[in-house]
Structure 1
Amino acid sequence: MKKIALPTRNGNIDDHFGHCAFYTIITVNDNNEVAKTEIMPSPEGCGCKSNIAYQLQEDGVTLMLAGNMGMGALNKLSSCGIEVVRGCSGPVMDVVEAYLKGELKDSGEACSHHGDDGHECHNH
């Protein structure tokens, strides 16, 4: 089983992960099929300053399919053991299907308006 988080707004990938309306959490079974879809509310404020990375880690998420994000947020998610694929766009389920078919690649681009603010995720 694998859990994937997608920052969501109006059924599409939100281009700025820290400002999304909510997260769609997709559970993928061992046959690479969507087994379950859940919604996780998004915290107020910027993603790199919230504890969303820790919440996602607690929920068992190991991958985020996202639009763009700053390096601070990317580093925070990475330190929580969450792999990030940036540059995703379009309807959430289309993005999940593309990932499951092996068609997605990380864009390698980060938003430049957030620096690396040194936030880290810690297991409690």
Structure 2
Amino acid sequence: MKIALPSRDNLIDDHFGHCEYFTVYTIDLNSKEILSEETIPSPAGCGCKSNIAKILADKGVSLMLAGNMGGGAVNVLNNSGIEVIRGCSGDLKTVSAKWLEGVISDSGDSCHQHECHD
């Protein structure tokens, strides 16, 4: 399984649409280990209007662990087959480990104060 995390300085970036890069982990769900790591540069502009959902989906990403994210971005990612869990923060590997332990769930909170919303 592949998961993506909007990143800045090896931490979850609090704002998906303006992150520095995306970290993609390939995870073995049986052993609950990270098998490999890849970084994908963040596209210029707002995340929900970029092609990042397609790029991540084409790489096989099926889950995004994110901080804050607008509803438009959630819909774009979901339509590309990527489940979104919002409300994450902190070190990338720690967040991933907590998700693997089953202690992280979606906050349900959407960011409403940025230019990506119609």
Give the TM bin, normalised by the shorter chain: over 0.9
Provide the residue aligned with 1:3 in structure 2: 2
Provide the residue aligned with 1:13 in structure 2: 12
Provide the residue aligned with 1:27 in structure 2: 26
**Identity percentage of aligned residues:** 55
Equivalences for 1:18-97 in 2 at 5 Å? 18-31=17-30, 32-97=32-97
| Aligned-partner residue type, residue 95 of structure 1 | V
Would you identify which runs of 4 or more consecutive aligned residues in structure 1 move more than 2 Å?
Answer: none
Aligned residues: 115
**CA positional deviation for 1:60:** 0.2
1:48 counterpart SS class: helix
Mapped partners of 2:28, 2:93: distance in 1: 15
Mapped partners of 2:36, 2:14: distance in 1: 24
User: TM-score, normalised to structure 2's length?
Assistant: 0.94
What's the C-alpha RMSD, in Å, of the aligned pairs? Answer: 0.9
Return the structure number with greater helix share. 2
User: TM-score, normalised to structure 1's length?
Assistant: 0.89
**CA positional deviation for 1:30:** 4.0
Q: In the TM superposition, what whole-angstrom CA distance separates every residue of 1:24-82 from its partner, at most 9, and x where no partner exists?
A: 00000242211111111110110011000000000000000000111111100000010
Unaligned segments of structure 1, at least 5 residues: 118-124
Unaligned segments of structure 2, at least 5 residues: none
Mapped partners of 1:15, 1:81: distance in 2: 22
Mapped partners of 1:42, 1:101: distance in 2: 28
| Aligned-partner residue type, residue 15 of structure 1 | D
